Amino acid sequence: VMVRGPLNQKVGAHYAILADKTAAIEMSAASGITLVPKKELDPLKANTFGTGELILDAVARGCKSIILGLGGSATNDGGMGLGAALGIRYLDRDGGELSPCGGNAQKVERVDASGLKKALLAADFTLACDVDNPLCGETGASAIFGPQKGATPELVRRLDEGLFKLCAV
C-alpha cells in the first residue's frame, strides 16, 4: 500500500492478512527509522500517519482483528499521526488543528475523536511490543529511544514533556 512515510514522503508498505482476516501490521513498515536517511531523522517532525493508513486499508479489506507490532519507528509522536489517519483531530488552546507530530504534542489541549472512522469500532487490536518501558520519564520512550531517532538531550526532555501532556489530555 502507498502510504505516508515518517516525514510525509510516499512509501510502499506491506502487511499480512491471515486466513482468519487478521491483519498483521508492523509499524516500521510505514513509520520506520530505516525509511529516513540518518542525517534527516527528526523526531519533532516524524509521525505515524502511514501506520494509520495501513490500519484503514486492512479494515477496508474486511479485517476485524489487527495485530500491530510496535517498534523500529522514526517517530516520537505518541501515536498522534496514526490517530489523525483514523480521523482523530488534535487541537491547540485556540481550537486550531495541530499537525500530528512529536513537536506538537506539548501543544495539545483537546482531542476530538468525533471523526473516528466508524469501521474501526468493530475491530479488535492487539499491540505487540518487545520492551518494557514506561511511556514517560528517565526510562521512558523519549529517553531510551529518542537519541536513535536524532533527539539531543534537550529534545529528549521536550519530547518527554509532550508525551506526558498528550497522555494528560
pLDDT in tens, 85-119: 999 999 999 999 999 999 999 999 999 999 999 99
In this predicted structure, what is the pLDDT of residue 129? 93
* Residue indicated by cell numbers 497522555: 167
Q: What is the pTM for the complete model shown?
A: 0.96
How far is the C-alpha of 78 from the C-alpha of 74, rounded, in Å? 12
Residue 116: closest CA among 87, 81, 90, 85: 87
In this predicted structure, what is the pLDDT of residue 88? 98
> How would residue 155 be classed by pLDDT, with cut points 50, 70 and 90?
very high
> How would residue 19 be classed by pLDDT, with cut points 50, 70 and 90?
very high
Give me 130's grid cell: 518487545
How far is the C-alpha of 92 from the C-alpha of 21, rounded, in Å? 38
Please give the single-letter amino acid code of residue 110.
Answer: R
